[in-house]
Amino acid sequence: MPSRPTRPAPARLTRPAELSELLGIPFTAEQLRCATAPLAPQVIVAGAGSGKTTVMAARVVWLVGTGQVAPEGVLGLTFTNKAAGELAERVRRALAETGVLDAAAGGNGGEGEDAPGEPAISTYHAFAGRLLKDHGLRLGVEPTARLLADATRFQLAAAVLRSAPGPFHALTKSVSSLVTEVLSLDSELSEHLVEPDRLRAHDQALLAELEGGGVRLTNEALRQVPRTARARLELLDLVQEYRTRKARRELLDFGDQIAVAARLARDVPEVRRQLRSEYQVVLLDEYQDTSVAQRVLLAGLFGHGGHPVTAVGDPCQAIYGWRGASVANLDDFPRHFRRDAAQADDGLAERHSLSENRRSGGRLLALANTLAAPLRERHEGVAALRPAPGAETDGRVRCALLPTHAEELEWLADSLAHLVRTGTAPGDIAVLCRTATDFPRIQSALTARDVPVEVVGLSGLLHLPEVADLVAMCEVLQDPTANAALVRLLSGPRWRIGPRDLAMLGRRARLLVPPPGGAEQDPARRLAAAVEGTDPTEVVSLADALDTFLESGGHQDDLPFSAAARVRFAHFAAELRDLRRSLADPLMDVLHRVLTVTGLEVELAASPQALAARRRETLGRFLDVAAGFASLDGETTLQAFLAFLRAAEQYDRGLDGSLPGGDNTVKVLTAHKSKGLEWDVVAVPGLVRGQFPSTRGQTSWLAGAGVLPHPLRGDAATLPELTGWTARDRKQYDTALADHQATEELRLGYVALTRPRSLLLASGHWWGPEQKKPRGPSDFLTAVRDHVEADPANGEVEHWAEPPAEGEQNPALAEPATEQTWPLPLDPAALERRRAAADAVLHRLRRHRPTARPEPGAEDNSARAGLPHQRERSPEPEAGPARQLTPEERRLVASWDRDLASLTQELRQARRKERDVPLPQSLTASQLMRLQADPERFAADLVRPMPHPPQPAAARRGTRFHAWIESRHEALPLPLLGPDELPGGNDSETGALPAEIADERDLAALKEAFSRTPYASRVPHRVEAPFQLMLAGRVIRGRIDAVYRDGDGFEIVDWKTGRRRTADPLQLAVYRLAWAEQHGLPLTAVRAAFVHVRTGEVIRPTDLPDRAGLERLLLTGSPEEPVTPPDRLGA
């Protein structure tokens, strides 16, 4: 990050009123005061919908337009790539529209050496990454250090766990859970700048105090503390090994970036001097969400001498404390960023407020203000929101309290369906939930009413049944002790094992590993014990009990399993055993094999129902997440992927791709994900006691080994303090923690209730789907009702159920269990057609295979009669001894038949001089170009694949130059790309020479060349964007190097680092079509260009073929010929 001289622009603006005239925005007095404030530190407490981004852009225009700073002397930081792009575009457009840049250029048209630069706007992580690349060597961090993607962190941590020598006496959780805890503790150490030795000393001192005899631990909660401390010490050894492996491989994760950058800012004065000289003005967005380490970084660089830093944030929307954010940073900003003596006597930075909300109607704001009253008392400078002039009476609220959870969701779905039918666009509606638990029911209810719906975020996908069953199957395959997942599958609609058989399965599992002393237990308790725990050293395995049904003699326990259960157990056990053989295969192969074996993919594809279509989309989105899961050293493990999913579900982590899409659908998402978004209509269901606000506290450092002790945190002063080790002290501490959690929930509720522009739907229920005690309205729903009843114009209470009578039973539990059909219900006619087809297939198999040996999957019909969703059939007479084979033996014989058939087919093909080569169902973009360039050679490569000569230069190009470009803009996951996906890596296949990045000087030359391209100062909308496109019955997969916003559309960019300027426009045509269809855009809204980095030349091919042209080219070799789809190539 070399320093460059910046020259202030000539003055163009002289009065604040001119700012409104030039931008055409009717600024409020408080907005103008913030935008035109003097060059001094200031913090702006910006309420929801108050136009903070507009104010930040206006401040840049004012400072540049008044000649106080040059455009390139402005640094703007925010959290997400999306937010950075929006702020950069807003600032760029404002500077251009007002002509400020022309004035800054001195009238030379913005060309030559005197041309003005642009403000540097990026994310906090990207800024830290650039800081490390330029100055990291001062602390021993190599400039070549690579960013470790979030998903890849789980793989490295899993590798540490797998190779750890142990023994670990205090760590009793499953490996996947320990992976999450290792990463959690490592992140907290980095976020609070705590060295491992300091944590070790703290826990050792804590153990000495608690076990030295001077403290009596009188209850279980207190006795848990030393156990947790010992577990944290063992976990710390794993964290240190994890850090050692990162350092050995020159890897950094996001936490490392911020921590090392903070040390640079704190300990190296030269870095501070250089950055302060380079950036005369700094803008910090969403400052309430910064961590302690980020505050140390920013205050260390810009917090002295009255440097003009403007921080913008809202303490009422500080909802990310659970992932390291500290709202105290915003409250304490005036002390961390002090003014000099010439600016103020007290030295404290000035505090401003933005309180006019231009999003919501006044009646909705009155409700939000009532809810946030306790928050305004806690934080200085927070003003109540007020509506824009003319909107004082806008906004309505409709609320309901229904008797049951099912009735609440019916009310919600009916209300939204009515709005859609009466003219509200589905894309203007959102459903915000506290957790993702209700997502499947909400999706089903809306789909049943023909309302298009989209579930947003990975954590939401994991709760949908088709994804949940796939993940449960993977958990059972990976971990034989995953009893909870196995019970989910056995009791689900596919296998439908009843409680009695499940209890006996648990009893058999316990009998396989007799408890100490041979103590007997009730079968139901045994099953519960097996499901509850996950410690492989203490918990029996239901999967082991399942395997006993594959043995010819079975297990001699005489347990009275039902006949149907025995058959289903045997089938499922054989299925699991067969799938476990492929666990070493690539992750995507494992997932597709599970889908094939379970039949879920086929069932969903064959069903015409709207719900099935939505579930197919859901499954496809989940597989896209799995495909983008970055690999480490070429190996993507199922274990690491499952740990990643567990963290996503627990912490609601999401990638930029998990933000709401642009489709015209009702968005269903968590309240956390809704921050910064807005809709005309927002529904907030589940406002019941214990759920929203949630009373489920976060894991305490006294009980969780992966949690940093509060006394060591950088924001310890804002957290509850444990004053002693008596039972009373612990109870007071737990109460204080609960109050702290209640405040966090209040902030989350405030965020949810400030998202709607015109209508809020709020609802709750008395009886949950599985609860034995009634829930009732939460404080949030009660506040909504009070608001509505205070003035009839505020809205209406549509329904308010009376409390259940004393001793009343939950009607949901009293209802008989409904028969479930897997995976979707079929109408009688469709079900009969399927049964007739199955009978026809079995009849044909028996007629053409008269021997006693059955076909694969065509076991004896007496067994098939016990399978779920099969019609009862009369058992057929035994045909011979082969009927006595076990299911596993029959599968073995069937595998021999398949092998013989395959060998015979290969022999026949080998004797042919010419053959038809089936075109693969899935092609990469590079394979498509090879097919178009030379079909015969491509067919020959398919028949006999030959290894390509190694291309070390191309590999370096992919892993170094491309990573360098990405690190300029955003700390994004860097997936391990295949040879065909490397940037420019296809050059050898299309006739170009390799890039030959032979040494550091050549790489530096490429970087310098890139800085001269028009894209060097632009922030991409997406980088390394994966896509999957269906063309002429074939799936085309690939990755787009970069996507930029281009006015009202997008521009696709493909970097070319080769020395020869050859590129196939077909590549851009495929990319353009994929991006347009993925985001529902017309092709005219997407441009495409090759950027030859070495020369700076930008080539935008014209007349790129559309979908029809690409399909004709794929099928016939020419975009002009008629489509006659061949499925085979001649070779």
49 is in an annotated binding site: yes
**DSSP H or E segment with residue 214:** none
**CA-wise closest residue to 316 among 269, 365, 272, 361:** 365
Beta-strand (E) ranges in 120-176? 120-123, 146-147
917 bridge partner residues? 1129
517: region left, alpha or beta (phi > 0 left; psi from -120 to 50 alpha): left
R_g (Cα) of the chain, nearest Å: 32
Residue keyed to tokens 């002390």: 335
Using CA atoms, how far residue 77 sits from 8, 19, 119, 282, 827, in Å, is 21, 23, 11, 8, 56
How far, rounded to the nearest angstrom, does the alpha carbon of residue 603 sit from its chain's CA centroid?
27
Question: Cα–Cα distance between 1126 and 1106 in angstroms, integer?
Answer: 20
415 is in an annotated binding site: no
309 bridge partner residues? 282
* Helix, strand, coil abundance in the chain, percent, nearest 5: 50, 10, 35
47 is in an annotated binding site: yes
991 is in an annotated binding site: no
Per the CB < 8 A criterion, the answer to whether 982 and 1054 are in contact is: no
Does residue 388 sit in helix, strand or coil?
coil
Question: Cα–Cα distance between 57 and 54 in angstroms, integer?
Answer: 5
Q: What is the DSSP letter of 560?
A: -
Does residue 165 sit in helix, strand or coil?
coil
In sequence order, which residues have a C-beta less than 8 Å from that of residue 342 and are 6 or more positions away? 306
3-state SS track over 1048-1100: CEEEEEEEECCCCCCCCHHHHHHHHHHHHHHCCCCHHHEEEEEEECCCCEEEC
**DSSP H or E segment with residue 253:** none
Question: Cα–Cα distance between 914 and 1117 in angstroms, integer?
Answer: 20
Question: Cα–Cα distance between 989 and 939 in angstroms, integer?
Answer: 14
Question: Cα–Cα distance between 158 and 784 in angstroms, integer?
Answer: 46
Cis peptide before 516 (omega within 30 of 0): no
Q: Is 827 exposed, middle or buried (0-12, 13-18, 19+ CB in 10 A)?
A: exposed
3-state SS track over 335-364: HHCCCCCCCCCCCCCEEEEECEECCCCHHH
In sequence order, which residues have a C-beta less than 8 Å from that of residue 441 and are 6 or more positions away? 409
Using CA atoms, how far residue 206 sits from 306, 487, 711, 854, in Å, is 42, 40, 12, 67
Q: How many CA atoms lie within 13 A of 149 on its CB side?
A: 22
971 is in an annotated binding site: no
Q: How many CA atoms lie within 13 A of 96 on its CB side?
A: 9
Question: Cα–Cα distance between 425 and 422 in angstroms, integer?
Answer: 9
Q: What is the DSSP letter of 507?
A: H
Interstrand relation of 916-918 and 1128-1130 (parallel, antiparallel or unpaired): antiparallel
CB neighbours of residue 25 within 10 Å = 18
Length, in residues, of the chain:
1131
Question: Cα–Cα distance between 970 and 956 in angstroms, integer?
Answer: 21
51 is in an annotated binding site: yes
Angle between helices 499-512 and 523-532 (to 10 degrees): 80
Please enumerate, by residue number, every residue annotated as part of a binding site: 46-53
Please enumerate, by residue number, every residue annotated as part of a binding site for ATP: 46-53
